[in-house]
Amino acid sequence: IEEALIFETGHMAATGVDLPEPKGTRSRLGGLERKGTMNLPGLAEPEAMRHFVRLSQKNYAIDMGPFPLGSCTMKHNPRLNEKMARLPGFAEIHPLQPVSTVQGALELIDTLAGWLKELTGMPAVAMSPKAGAHGELCGMVTIKAALEARGEAETRTRVLAPESAHGTNPATAAQCGFTVDAIPADDTGRVDIEAFKAKLGDDVAAIMVTNPNTCGLFERDIREMADAVHEAGGYFYCDGANFNAIVGKVKPGDLGIDAMHINLHKTFSTPHGGGGPGSGPTVLSEALAPFAPIPYVVSDADGFHLIEKRSQEEGDHHSFGRMTAFHGQMGMFVRALTYMLSHGGDGLRQAAEDAVLNANYVLARLSAEMTPAFEGTCMHEALFNDDFLKDTGVGTLDFAKAMIDEGYHPMTMYFPLVVHGAMLIEPTETESRHELDLFCDALLSLAKEAKAGKADKFKAAPVLSPRRRLDETAAARKPVLRWEPSNDESMAAE
Amino acid sequence: IEEALIFETGHMAATGVDLPEPKGTRSRLGGLERKGTMNLPGLAEPEAMRHFVRLSQKNYAIDMGPFPLGSCTMKHNPRLNEKMARLPGFAEIHPLQPVSTVQGALELIDTLAGWLKELTGMPAVAMSPKAGAHGELCGMVTIKAALEARGEAETRTRVLAPESAHGTNPATAAQCGFTVDAIPADDTGRVDIEAFKAKLGDDVAAIMVTNPNTCGLFERDIREMADAVHEAGGYFYCDGANFNAIVGKVKPGDLGIDAMHINLHKTFSTPHGGGGPGSGPTVLSEALAPFAPIPYVVSDADGFHLIEKRSQEEGDHHSFGRMTAFHGQMGMFVRALTYMLSHGGDGLRQAAEDAVLNANYVLARLSAEMTPAFEGTCMHEALFNDDFLKDTGVGTLDFAKAMIDEGYHPMTMYFPLVVHGAMLIEPTETESRHELDLFCDALLSLAKEAKAGKADKFKAAPVLSPRRRLDETAAARKPVLRWEPSNDESMAAE
Amino acid sequence: MRYLPLDTEDRRAMLDVVGAKAIDELFADVPADALNPPLDLPDHAGEFAVERQMAAMAGKNRAAGAGPFFVGAGAYRHHVPATVDHIIQRSEFLTSYTPYQPEIAQGTLQYLFEFQTQVASLTGMDVANASMYDGSTACAEAALMARRVTRRDGILMSGSLHPHYESVTRMNGGLVGGKATVSEASPDGADNVIDLISDETACVIVQTPDVFGNVVDLEPIAKAAHDKGALLVAVVTEAVSLGALKSPGEMGADIVVGEGQSIGNALNFGGPYVGLFATRQKFMRNMPGRLCGETVDAGGKRGFVLTLSTREQHIRRDKATSNICTNSGLCALAFTIHMTLLGETGLRKLATLNHEAACATADALSAIDGVELVNDAFFNEFTLRLPKDAAEVVEALAAKDILAGVPGSRLWPEDESKHNLLIVAATELTQDKDIEAFANALKEVL
Amino acid sequence: MRYLPLDTEDRRAMLDVVGAKAIDELFADVPADALNPPLDLPDHAGEFAVERQMAAMAGKNRAAGAGPFFVGAGAYRHHVPATVDHIIQRSEFLTSYTPYQPEIAQGTLQYLFEFQTQVASLTGMDVANASMYDGSTACAEAALMARRVTRRDGILMSGSLHPHYESVTRMNGGLVGGKATVSEASPDGADNVIDLISDETACVIVQTPDVFGNVVDLEPIAKAAHDKGALLVAVVTEAVSLGALKSPGEMGADIVVGEGQSIGNALNFGGPYVGLFATRQKFMRNMPGRLCGETVDAGGKRGFVLTLSTREQHIRRDKATSNICTNSGLCALAFTIHMTLLGETGLRKLATLNHEAACATADALSAIDGVELVNDAFFNEFTLRLPKDAAEVVEALAAKDILAGVPGSRLWPEDESKHNLLIVAATELTQDKDIEAFANALKEVL
């Protein structure tokens, strides 16, 4: 069943909201009243409900089945978190209310910050970044501020990052005015430590390393890297996207890092929501803490206070400024803390262990038909290359799209870039063994079919989804980014 | 994708609930502790969520599309109602809390009762019946109590009901010990008034008439019927299932009825919920009010009070007892009152008008290919017979099942019994004209296909639903009403 | 108006299609003087106006979670996981219809099948139906069913059955020649119900734990009933007790009815709740209410349908086993989800926590001078005999924001011998500080 | 633990398949002395224990709905229909991923397309992106985009831009050689921003209604900017104002950024919110953030995909237009649903009600001795000059349970000339009795 756009079925007079009648007060808008139509039709409530419910039914979601997306950590989102986030005492408070009327909100931020610091072994955390990439920006801007304070901002302009890094790493570094220098990987899928050391120098501002890395492996030389970069006068930024694999098992602070963002939606179960909102608090070392963004929460015997000035009289804190208008993603903080309290320290550690166990189980089972990218065990995600598809006429993309017809969301494809035709599978700890077995059975069977020469089926896939493969090239060639009355006509004319 | 039963995937050790550890207090259960297993496996929360979400996706629902079920009034269920019902002040109060701590709850019941009395023009209402059929029982037991008070309970044992009555009417009458005597219909689809009068006598306890009736028509002789039955010493029970068609337009109390139940889910938008819970308050005339069930709410200057004794010192009220343990379906009361306040008197009247208009629009449009059961306009539902399917090899059931493949829930079939191969369509007021047009187009097209000899398609339908036609005969022949480990084995053996 | 999609233009155009000039032409059969009566009601209102009005009423009630709470006697405050309420609000469950079209209602049908299995397992019976209105109406239906099975008219109820259940059963079960009698039962568990069983007795109805909280051994009663050809109907108003106590089925009950509210459902001031109804295989076709059964579809796949509907009113009309045409679907779903989350492991633990909370509360309160605990064996509820009218005490404690329990006068207004009794319930949500507050306050008001 | 499906037996069996004896063999690459550190954290807790802890914190905050409330300055208290929050909690929206696999994400993609259309229409622009973190970060991204488009470094901001927006834009937009300057603007609307536009100016950033509530005519500023080859970035922090005021597009803005929280989203103590970002067709490929575009599938059916992703970090890496990889999907959905329910008709009416509430509030307060209303033209927010430090007044009123607005010292802690200012917002939820209570209390504390 096709679902029209609201602009195609709505009426200009329709509204799904009943409002009291205005009193007819004289307007004081300075002569800038809006005239003419906005071309925004409305729908009555029953129509709107049905429109969005029907739309929703065209989506795949974690509540429907596994989302084996490497690097994305699609885990179960507890509804208790949603319920807590909707308590009026959290949802209906304003960021600029008097501090005396939001003591519970500040307590929550402070408590969450405390958990994050304990779990990472770091002394400070900037809570306001709005998402992972924003947390990276926060970390790199903090590093830049620290370099400025040292008078080295002009000279330290190079950032080292592994070839396998997430795209956000180079993008963030570039946004801060750094040049990015790629570190090659060794043949075990980790940073080539000698190549890395060779690149160090007094123009290096920082290294940016993901750990566990994007090949799903723990950087076993991480302390050596930290020592080396510190010795060279640079900072160690760690991309925390894969923190889910080690939370409670290792404290990044024990490994020598200076800054790391934490994706609350990956490790602490706040919902992805179809692409946001995220939340990316960034933990900071003693060296970087003085430059953290405002606002932040402090407490004393009188209660909780907000620091909203860049420079405080007492102490040497000199913030670089604001990451965002207010206090960060409070709604996500509530969800994440609810999740942490539910799991506790013991549960978080168990979750990391189960995430790693699940990934290794999948790695072991799938190795029967698919080719692991590296030898040995993995952390929380299993990486395969496309060797097993060689000469089958089936590509990584085709293989992934065929999974849709089996009822699964595809895994991450073609990432990390260092592996040919990469397929990165992260089951997470919230999949049961039963569900993993069904998933592995389906993939093994697909792999056999590919090898048996059924390339046509793969090329045609998916066929059971609400849409078949979409023409992304056409979309980009002549972008249509909004509905206009003429769209319909031109579509009809074609 | 198939979804297993929880008993097939759950584990005995699994639980999706974390509870504190018991302290190990000495048990005082009198030696009646439970031993042995109950065979009830559990699921972790992520598994349970997925199980029930997947199950839900095998259902059709009003939020997905029209439910043109005559006599069932499947209309939009506003989410504001759900939100209000979950306010802790309504959801988390106990029926036996001190009356001083539930003044708002009693106020709500009293306010809702006031609306029901005003809309029906009746002086009293029994709020506790749990559903429509329970309301019927309440009404008929009240009538029986009134007859007992008159000393005529032993002599007045006959209840008259039209042939077209809902099955609950004769079932309820029989449950009260009355015999049921069917009144024939005239050729306009209404009660044959002369035949009816001829059946009256001093053994008649009551008549039970639905108005608008189950043919979707207003009983235009209703006052004559009321006068006649009153004159004969009987009471007039009106089945209020179709109140949606006339709410705000006519007060049943102005037509001479003595009792009528109101399905809150039909007229006042509380959700059907896949078959309940319902709520069936029963309005009563002055003659019947003294026998109403306990408990009920009264108010004075001190606030609201609950009457929970059968006989009150002051006044001649002598209740027949209790319909249910507590105060009725409070959760449904909250939803219904929220709906009423939202619509207001003006909106309820408009809703009835739109419901009738929508039905007549469907009647007019479908008459092009389908055969209306009676001439003229209808009230809130349009009734067709199967004449248009004659010699096509397609039956009413086949036609209805084919609607499933068009994305619709079938209409009511084979009811009322007085019409051959009946198809009863009630669109309700919450369908838009756009949606009605799509619906009519689909049905007209099906009717044409049936006439064009495509019986095979109809016999095979549905094919696009989660299941094809199910073998109901087999289900009834050797009923399997629960899962047992042996089920699987025996299924596997077949 | 936000719920009405038609606008003025739609209405005009549609009237044209219908061939009417004005809407009231379609209401021509209504007596003219009765059409469009004046309505003494307010006009429509927007969401926030309605919310304010409803919230004002809600605000006048003391919610269970707002402080110490010990009220039970047939409805219990338990924790409901957030998952439960989330799932039952899904459009596909909330706004679906009775599953008469099974091809597009397998979601509802499968959970009903799971519900029936859970209820049968919990009660120790062979089969269960797809739920009833609530425990009290299920009890009345059990009496009617026993009369059908035994072709006898006597409905014998224990005096320790919840008096509201007794009233409902007396009213409904007592129609058409039914004869209800009630035994003498004392709050401490003594009961002469066995002595009253006769050859006219269709069923003996006994509650466990009973309304005073006593855990009742049903075996001797079952034996006595069966000896006289009567059925034993066991009533359970606290479903969580089934996680701790021997099941009524094990003790010989023929029909088990119960209130399922405790599992998955909020207090809701008494409704909607979910009635449980289970029985032996041999009585299956005498059961009232909807039944969901397993079958196969035209493609041979397992599926579920409503079955044995020839017992029901819409087919059988005046010969139906019951006039019921609604179950408590959404509440049954809540029960099933919560029960699935609990699993046997969780339910047992939950039951233990309830019992422990009640023991702790009983100990704390019965240590007070003048307060007597009447029960020997109880689950999560017990009865205290106070030195004065319990209703006064309850009011005095309510003024201190402690909801202390149900006073005897509330349940037995006509029986003054019970007015000094206070029925007190504790659950997993009872905290030590609640017990302490209750005990301290009780000392003060006595 | 309730979120972890594996049990001990599963774990043992799976380790066997993996070929490991113990779980820590899989963590062999972790330095041994760093593995399994002590955690000074509590153990896991059940739902009701967690709920109690969270509710205790929530209970220490004064919710907007609990009494008179006039706080704005970038976040506004509006009514959100229950339908909105219901739909965004549907599993299929809440727990879905970024729609990189469009075949099974058409639900998300279509609403993003609808969102983009709504935002473009509201702002009077040609195209909009699929949302950004919030208004302030969108503002910073606009500055970066203007620098890319104009290849200039000057970021000129009006002094009546929300100071937090200014701070974020200065920080982010000012990286890599950006030069931020701010005009002198006074609370009554006077502003020398036009005089500061130079040949180095990449963009002029002006907010309307501005942080003091003044409705700003952008046309002369647009003209002046365009004359110098600079872009005009218009900032809207109160999206509802777009229902009453001439759109920034009509007045010549090149980029419009805004905070969409007012439509469909709760206050949430500042986040998550939804950033709006719209621009002219010719700048489309310079836009940051995700874009959803229309296309067809292999069967020729209309469908939607994320498009122009070659601008984005996951493809372009260090050459990307922005490092952003998240939008504010669920908040954008809430915006779209609420906007769909409102329709143009509803939005206009809502805007009128807001304006009327502000006028009534302004009249009541400015009638008080010593209180001066500084604005001539305003929408739903205005600024009062008080005879003393506004922060003290706000605290005094908070003690009377009235949340009076935002004092100047909160926004400009370093600028004492603004500390007597109080920024007051009213919305459709402001009741007459709230205004009266505010006015009476203000009289008392002055």
Q: Which residues, listed in sequence order, are joined to residue D423 by a DSSP beta bridge? A: D383, D406
**Contact, D232 vs D158, CB < 8 A?**
no
Q: Look at residue B494 and tell me whether its pLDDT is greater than 70.
A: no
The minimal CB distance from C47 to the residues D47, D48, D81 is found for D81
Place of tokens 């096509």: B392
For A272-300, write each residue's pLDDT tens digit: 999 999 999 999 999 999 999 999 999 99
- H helix count then E strand count, chain C: 14, 13
In chain C, which stretches have pLDDT less than 50? none
The minimal CB distance from B330 to the residues C64, C73, C271 is found for C271
Q: Does C44 touch chain A (CB under 8 A)?
A: yes
Report CA D312 to chain centroid distance, whole Å.
22
Distance CA D311, CA D321 (A): 6
CB contact under 8 A, D428 and C48: yes
CA distances from A214 to A140, A170, A353 (A): 20, 14, 18
- Same domain flag for C366 and C382: yes
What is the domain-level CATH number for residue D367?
3.90.1150.10
Fold of A80-339: Aspartate Aminotransferase; domain 2 (3.40.640)
DSSP state of D441: H
What is the domain-level CATH number for residue C158?
3.40.640.10
Amino acid occupying residue D405: G
Taking residues D199-209, report their average pLDDT.
98
Q: Look at residue A492 and tell me whether its pLDDT is greater than 60.
A: no
For D179-193, write each residue's pLDDT tens digit: 999 999 999 999 999
CB contact under 8 A, A44 and C45: no
Q: Which of D212, D189, D219, D209 is nearest to D262 (CA)?
A: D209
Q: How far is B86 from chain D (nearest CA, A)?
A: 12
Q: In B, what residues contact A, Cβ < 8 A?
A: 1, 9, 18, 44-47, 49-50, 53-54, 57, 63-65, 75-76, 78-79, 342, 407, 430-432, 434-435
Q: Which of D263, D142, D160, D169 is nearest to D215 (CA)?
A: D160
First-to-last C-alpha distance (Å) of chain B: 22
- Same domain flag for D74 and D104: no
For B302-356, write each residue's pLDDT tens digit: 999 999 987 755 556 689 999 999 999 999 999 999 999 999 999 999 999 999 9
Fold of A346-474: Aspartate Aminotransferase, domain 1 (3.90.1150)
- Same domain flag for D370 and D401: yes
The minimal CB distance from A63 to the residues B1, B49, B431 is found for B49
Query: What 3-state class would DSSP assign to D165?
Result: helix
**Which H or E run contains D405?**
none
- Final residue before a domain boundary, out of D308, D337, D366: D337
- Same domain flag for D96 and D69: no
**Contact, B336 vs B269, CB < 8 A?**
yes
Tokens of D350: 């809502």
Tokens of C92: 């596909």
B404 to chain A: closest CA residue: A1
- Same domain flag for D87 and D76: no
* E-only strand ranges, A356-442: 371-372, 382-385, 412-413, 423-425
**Contact, C41 vs B344, CB < 8 A?**
yes
pLDDT at B313: 53
In a domain, D95, yes or no: yes
Distance CA B44, CA D10 (A): 13
In the 3-class helix/strand/coil scheme, how is A320-349 assigned residue by residue? CCECCCCCCCHHHHHHHHHHHHHHHHHHHH
Identify from A34, A154, A265, A439 which residue to disrupt to test chain D contact, counting D C-beta atoms within 10 A and taking the largest count. Answer: A34
CB contact under 8 A, B19 and C353: yes
Query: What 3-state class would DSSP assign to B100?
Result: helix
In a domain, C44, yes or no: no
In a domain, D220, yes or no: yes
- Same domain flag for D120 and D229: yes
Average pLDDT, chain D: 96
Domain that holds residue C230: 114-289+314-337
Domain map (residue ranges) of chain B: 80-339, 345-474
Q: Look at residue A141 and tell me whether its pLDDT is greater than 50.
A: yes
Q: How confident is the model at residue A86 (pLDDT cuts 50, 70, 90)?
A: very high
D49 to chain C: closest CA residue: C429
Amino acid occupying residue B214: T
pLDDT at A312: 60
Q: Look at residue B491 and tell me whether its pLDDT is greater than 70.
A: no
pLDDT at B317: 66
Cβ-based contacts of A163 with chain D (< 8 Å): none
- Same domain flag for D234 and D362: no
pLDDT at B492: 39
Distance CA D253, CA D222 (A): 6
The minimal CB distance from D429 to the residues C2, C48, C82 is found for C48
- Same domain flag for D229 and D260: yes
Distance CA A68, CA A439 (A): 9
Taking residues A377-401, report their average pLDDT.
96
- Final residue before a domain boundary, out of D337, D363, D380: D337
Tokens of B291: 């026998």
For B405-457, write each residue's pLDDT tens digit: 999 999 999 999 889 999 999 999 999 999 999 999 999 999 999 999 999 99
CB contact under 8 A, B76 and A407: no
Distance CA B377, CA A275 (A): 52
Length of chain A, please?
494
- Same domain flag for D273 and D211: yes
- Same domain flag for C128 and C251: yes
The minimal CB distance from D48 to the residues C2, C47, C79 is found for C79
Identify from B51, B432, B435, B436 which residue to disrupt to test chain A contact, counting A C-beta atoms within 10 A and taking the largest count. Answer: B432
Cβ-based contacts of D138 with chain A (< 8 Å): none
- Final residue before a domain boundary, out of D285, D308, D337: D337
Taking residues A58-65, report their average pLDDT.
97
Q: How confident is the model at residue B58 (pLDDT cuts 50, 70, 90)?
A: very high
The minimal CB distance from B80 to the residues D47, D82, D91 is found for D82
Q: How many independent structural domains does chain C possess?
A: 2
- Same domain flag for D297 and D264: yes
Query: What 3-state class would DSSP assign to D392?
Result: helix
- In our burial notation (b when 16+ CB lie closer than 10 A, e otherwise), range B81-111 reads bbbbbbbbbbbbbbbbbbbebbbbbbbbbeb
- Same domain flag for D294 and D374: no
CATH classification number, B345-474, choose in 2.40.10.120, 3.30.70.20, 3.40.190.10, 3.90.1150.10: 3.90.1150.10
Q: Which of A295, A333, A278, A353 is nearest to A104 (CA)?
A: A333
pLDDT at C432: 97
**Contact, A485 vs A40, CB < 8 A?**
no
Q: Are strands B235-239 and B204-210 parallel, antiparallel or unpaired?
A: parallel
In a domain, D141, yes or no: yes
- H helix count then E strand count, chain A: 16, 13
**Contact, B269 vs B239, CB < 8 A?**
no
For B83-124, write each residue's pLDDT tens digit: 999 999 999 999 999 999 999 999 999 999 999 999 999 999
Give the chains touching A; criterion: ≥3 Cβ pairs < 8 Å: B, C, D
| ipTM of predicted assembly, 2 dp | 0.96
In a domain, C358, yes or no: yes
Give the chains touching C; criterion: ≥3 Cβ pairs < 8 Å: A, B, D
Q: Name the more confident of D327 and D224.
A: D224
- The three-point CA angle D25-D28-D34 to 5° equals 120
Distance CA C93, CA B273 (A): 6
In a domain, C48, yes or no: no
Q: Look at residue B490 and tell me whether its pLDDT is greater than 80.
A: no
